[in-house]
Chains A and B, each alone.
Chain A
Amino acid sequence: MTEIGYYSVLTAFFLSGYSALIAFFGIRGRKGNLVASAENAAYAVFGFLTIASFVLIYALVTRDFQIEYVARYTSNGLPMTYTIAAFYAGQKGSLLLWGWLLSIFAAIVTFQNRKKNRELLPYVLTVLMTVTMFFTFLMVFVTNPFETFNYRPPDGQGLNPLLQNPGMLFHPPTLFIGYVGLTVPFGFAIAALITGRLDAVWIKTTRKWTIVAWFFLTAGNMLGMEWAYVELGWGGYWAWDPVENASFMPWIIATAYLHSVMIQEKRGMLKVWNIVLIIFSFLMTLFGTFITRSGLIASVHSFGESSLGWIFLIFLIASLLISLTLLIRRLPQLKSKNQLDSFLSKESSFLYNNLLLVGIAFTVLWGTLFPIISEAIRGVKITVGPPFFNAVITPIGLGLLFLMGICPLIAWRRSSVSNFLKKFFIPSTAAVAGAFVLFIVGIRLFYTLISYALCIFVLITLFFEFFYGTRTRHSVFKEGYHKALWNLVVRNKRRYGGYVVHFGVVLVFISLSANTFNLEKQITLKKGELFSFKEYKIRYDSLVNYPTAIKHVVAATLSIFNNEHKVAVLVPEKTLFKSQEQPTTEVAIHTTLKEDLYVILAGYGEDWITLKVLINPLVVWLWIGGVVMGLGTLIVMLPDRRGQSESKRKSVVRF
């Protein structure tokens, strides 16, 4: 069975190399049959990597412990869902998943473009297949997922208990899809650079693929945060760990691209910039893999240190050099069609937004690499942690929030100052009033006040966008308000979908800004004893101690009262998995729209328990904000009924 897996990967390795080469020379020599053969090879690569993936899944499901990978990440008692998820629990499996997803995307791209973009596609294929070849190379020559023992162990080592959480089922694959998805825009960017076809076509395709990748990156990061919050048990969800930074940087660069691409579409500007963003968002995915696998940077997620990271670095540098060479060669063709007309224009607000987003990306990069840089230059190892990132990124983030509110108020090209001030008046007055109220209520932290004032500002401008749009449709087209709102959104999916995403971002900001009000206490309780914390009372009722098939559980039962009403029973646990040496803490959380009561069982004895209790305000809005961002992105991604809406629009114009 393992041979089938290994030889499938090996075949995929040769076929992807073949496809990459022959697509390139096929289009160069204008030989259609060669290009067709390259396309078929790409489909075949997809087929073989699918076989390889199913072989690994089959081995996992049948618990074939003779395979080293299966023995290392699963065990007899492991539930079936996690057994399948063990597919990407380790480095080898995640490489296979990466390669497989890439081959799926390559097949989709080939199929989508079988009748269009014929000039670009062969080059796109060359890029995608080269990257696929890189991953299959790693599996064939460096770490083979199908490596076997020459004996069959009776049981495996099992999956790390931290990974046995629903988060494991969704977070890694989602993030992987996002990562891999960024390869496609990169492929189109390279193809456009090679062919010199730097017109609207590649931009359109690239934007569509980037938005898909962005959707998955957003979802993946959100799911990761949620997982960290419920599973890691330190009360937070983001620690600016290098691994988190590695997934944040491609996301923020892709965000910058999704904004700046609009300038290119509308005004033919920022062409070089857009290509650079696309290239770097892809390179960042490789870079993330490099820093986490090379052991160069200490991370709490200590990944297996291996030579793999350095191979990624070589591939990264090669990709960077090739991309930049191609870009420099095309620079003369990438002149802007237009100049910036005015500072009070949408263009300049987008420009500034890009500056800030890239500033954030650079800060994160710098903070992540700082220990290495300082050691190399000054010989001392200096680390920067969350305080650094918070100190730098908070003001830049607030700047972005401000732009998010300003941008809808400004017209393209040139906005008249008086018109702008007229629109600016209500939201800004409301924001100042809101900040004043918060100040009276007792919030005195500068950034928190600014943040909430800006949130109000953005919410009101967003509301007016929807309100005026709907009202206009209502009066012009005589549509009912619901229908007018619906049509407004579906007829202008990108604009209003984007606003929905912005609305989600505001919710996220509201939640993040409340972090400054987090409270925590540690307390030892005897049975039946009550503990008051703000308006909550926590009563320790009982402690149970029981073994299950795969673990030993110690669980404390707590009654939670809010203003004398019993609102919940929380059961924080400590568990000891039989196959593991270390205990795992299972926190218990009581969530309301206002705040989370987060309880950790820190210690226990005969008749007492020690708890760490946190009150984290407004956390749930972070998750709601994430969902809203996802929904907004889905609206943007809704398929066009272009023919229909276009003709309607024309008839309206004529009318």
Chain B
Amino acid sequence: MKKRKVKIFIISLVTLSIFGYLIYAGIRDTMTYYLTVSEVLAKPLQSFEEVVRVGGNVYADSVKWDAKDLRLYFKMKDEKASLNVEYRGVVPDSFKPGREVILEGVYRGEGKFIATTIMPKCASKYE
């Protein structure tokens, strides 16, 4: 009887350790920093090896859209600073000048941000 309890304990412990490791490794390998525009500019360039997320507003008169090549250029800003964003792909329906967006992509220095994903904070009416 006792031996069995020890066995149960060990098996559960092993399983839980595997879960723990999977979660730990999953976060380690896939986490992305969520920064504001000013925070991106304030960080030294060397620290940007990976993909980051940036939140900010689309600057109203800055949007250029090349529908043929699906290239989008715009400025994103917060209270203090702005980034020049380049994006290639299908633009989400709810992307609009003045709206708040979250970008995922890589910072290339000198205010240039290459976005791979645009996630507009859509003012979806479904509440």
What CA separation (Å) do A476 and B21 show in the bound complex? Answer: 51
**Any chain A CB within 8 A of the CB of B44?**
no
**Any chain B CB within 8 A of the CB of A581?**
yes
Contact in complex: B121, A302 (CB < 8 Å): yes
Contact in complex: B121, A89 (CB < 8 Å): no
Among B31-39, B56-64, B74-82, B106-114, the stretch in contact with A:
B31-39
Contact in complex: B33, A382 (CB < 8 Å): yes
Contact in complex: B30, A359 (CB < 8 Å): no
Looking at chain A's contact residues, is the secondary structure mostly helix, strand, loop, or mixed?
A: mixed
Which residues 9-50 of B have a CB within 8 angstroms of A? 11-12, 15, 19, 22-23, 25-27, 29-35
Which residues in A have their C-beta under 8 angstroms from that of B8? 340
**Any chain B CB within 8 A of the CB of A245?**
no
Contact in complex: A160, B126 (CB < 8 Å): yes
Contact in complex: A384, B33 (CB < 8 Å): no
Contact in complex: B123, A387 (CB < 8 Å): no
The proximity string for A residues 357-382 relative to B, scoring 1 for CB distances below 8 Å and 0 otherwise, is 00100110010001100000000111
**Any chain B CB within 8 A of the CB of A642?**
no
Contact in complex: A339, B1 (CB < 8 Å): yes
What CA separation (Å) do A359 and B7 show in the bound complex? Answer: 20
Contact in complex: A383, B19 (CB < 8 Å): no
Contact in complex: B68, A524 (CB < 8 Å): yes
Task: Given the known inter-chain contacts A355-B15, A582-B94, A608-B68, please indicate yes or no for A388 contacting B126, CB distance below 8 A.
Answer: no
Name the residue of chain B whose CB is nearest to the CB of A370.
B27
Task: Given the known inter-chain contacts A363-B19, A602-B70, A603-B68, please indicate yes or no for A612 contacting B93, CB distance below 8 A.
Answer: no
**Any chain B CB within 8 A of the CB of A159?**
yes
Name the residue of chain A whose CB is nearest to the CB of B31.
A382
Contact in complex: B67, A603 (CB < 8 Å): yes
Contact in complex: A90, B126 (CB < 8 Å): yes
Which residues in A have their C-beta under 8 angstroms from that of B34? 371, 381-383
Residue in A91, A387, A392, A583 whose beta carbon sits within 8 Å of that of B93 in the complex: A583
Q: How close is A356's CB to chain B, nearest CB, in angstroms?
A: 8
Q: How close is A603's CB to chain B, nearest CB, in angstroms?
A: 3
The proximity string for B residues 86-127 relative to A, scoring 1 for CB distances below 8 Å and 0 otherwise, is 000111111010000010000000000000000101111111
Which residues in A have their C-beta under 8 angstroms from that of B121? 298, 300, 302
Task: Given the known inter-chain contacts A383-B53, A582-B93, A583-B93, please indicate yes or no for A340 contacting B30, CB distance below 8 A.
Answer: no
Which residues 123-171 of A have a CB within 8 angstroms of B? 157, 159-160, 162-163
**Any chain B CB within 8 A of the CB of A528?**
no
Task: Given the known inter-chain contacts A301-B124, A382-B34, A388-B30, please indicate yes or no for A522 contacting B93, CB distance below 8 A.
Answer: no
Residue in B27, B91, B119, B125 whose beta carbon sits within 8 Å of that of A160 in the complex: B125
**Any chain B CB within 8 A of the CB of A73?**
yes
Contact in complex: A391, B22 (CB < 8 Å): yes
Which residues in B have their C-beta under 8 angstroms from that of A639? none
Residue in B1, B15, B90 whose beta carbon sits within 8 Å of that of A612 in the complex: B90
Contact in complex: A384, B31 (CB < 8 Å): yes
Residue in B23, B30, B67, B126 whose beta carbon sits within 8 Å of that of A163 in the complex: B126
Q: How close is A608's CB to chain B, nearest CB, in angstroms?
A: 6
**Any chain B CB within 8 A of the CB of A571?**
no
What CA separation (Å) do A159 and B125 show in the bound complex? Answer: 8
Contact in complex: B12, A355 (CB < 8 Å): yes
What CA separation (Å) do A363 and B16 show in the bound complex? Answer: 12
Which residues in B have their C-beta under 8 angstroms from that of A355? 12, 15
Contact in complex: A392, B26 (CB < 8 Å): yes
What CA separation (Å) do A363 and B18 show in the bound complex? Answer: 12
The proximity string for A residues 601-624 relative to B, scoring 1 for CB distances below 8 Å and 0 otherwise, is 011110010101000000000000
Contact in complex: B96, A582 (CB < 8 Å): yes
What CA separation (Å) do A608 and B4 show in the bound complex? Answer: 71
What CA separation (Å) do A433 and B89 show in the bound complex? Answer: 41
Which residues in A have their C-beta under 8 angstroms from that of B22? 363, 391-392, 395-396
Q: How many residues of B contact A (CB 8 A)?
A: 42
Which residues in B have their C-beta under 8 angstroms from that of A343? 7, 11
Which residues in B have their C-beta under 8 angstroms from that of A608? 68
Task: Given the known inter-chain contacts A382-B31, A384-B30, please indicate yes or no for A610 contacting B68, CB distance below 8 A.
Answer: yes
**Any chain B CB within 8 A of the CB of A79?**
no
Residue in B26, B31, B94, B125 whose beta carbon sits within 8 Å of that of A90 in the complex: B125
Residue in B7, B27, B91, B122 whose beta carbon sits within 8 Å of that of A302 in the complex: B122
Contact in complex: A384, B127 (CB < 8 Å): no
Contact in complex: B127, A91 (CB < 8 Å): yes
Which residues in A have their C-beta under 8 angstroms from that of B126? 89-90, 160, 162-163, 301, 303
What CA separation (Å) do A584 and B95 show in the bound complex? Answer: 11
Task: Given the known inter-chain contacts A382-B31, A392-B22, A392-B23, please indicate yes or no for A162 contacting B124, CB distance below 8 A.
Answer: yes
Contact in complex: B127, A90 (CB < 8 Å): yes
What CA separation (Å) do A383 and B4 show in the bound complex? Answer: 41
What CA separation (Å) do A160 and B122 show in the bound complex? Answer: 11
Contact in complex: B26, A391 (CB < 8 Å): yes
Contact in complex: A524, B96 (CB < 8 Å): no
Contact in complex: A363, B23 (CB < 8 Å): yes
Q: How close is B58's CB to chain A, nearest CB, in angstroms?
A: 13
What CA separation (Å) do A381 and B8 show in the bound complex? Answer: 38
Which residues in A have their C-beta under 8 angstroms from that of B96? 581-582
What CA separation (Å) do A391 and B19 show in the bound complex? Answer: 11
Which residues in A have their C-beta under 8 angstroms from that of B89? 522, 602, 612
What CA separation (Å) do A189 and B26 show in the bound complex? Answer: 36
Contact in complex: B19, A359 (CB < 8 Å): yes
What CA separation (Å) do A384 and B25 show in the bound complex? Answer: 12
Which residues in B have their C-beta under 8 angstroms from that of A388? 26-27, 30-31
**Any chain B CB within 8 A of the CB of A385?**
yes
Contact in complex: B69, A385 (CB < 8 Å): no
**Any chain B CB within 8 A of the CB of A196?**
no
Residue in A162, A340, A385, A524 whose beta carbon sits within 8 Å of that of B32 in the complex: A385
What CA separation (Å) do A298 and B65 show in the bound complex? Answer: 27
Between A and B, 13 residue pairs with Cβ closer than 8 Å are A89-B126, A90-B125, A91-B127, A159-B125, A160-B125, A233-B93, A234-B90, A371-B34, A383-B34, A385-B32, A388-B26, A391-B25, A585-B90
Supply 20 further A-B pairs (C-beta < 8 A) apart from A382-B31, A383-B34, A392-B26: A89-B125, A233-B90, A234-B92, A298-B102, A302-B122, A352-B15, A363-B22, A381-B33, A383-B31, A384-B27, A385-B32, A388-B26, A391-B22, A391-B26, A522-B89, A602-B67, A602-B91, A608-B68, A610-B69, A612-B70
**Which residues in A have some Cβ–Cβ distance to B below 8 Å?**
72-73, 89-91, 94, 157, 159-160, 162-163, 233-234, 293, 298, 300-304, 339-340, 343, 352, 355-356, 359, 362-363, 366, 370-371, 380-385, 387-389, 391-392, 395-396, 522, 524, 581-585, 600, 602-605, 608, 610, 612
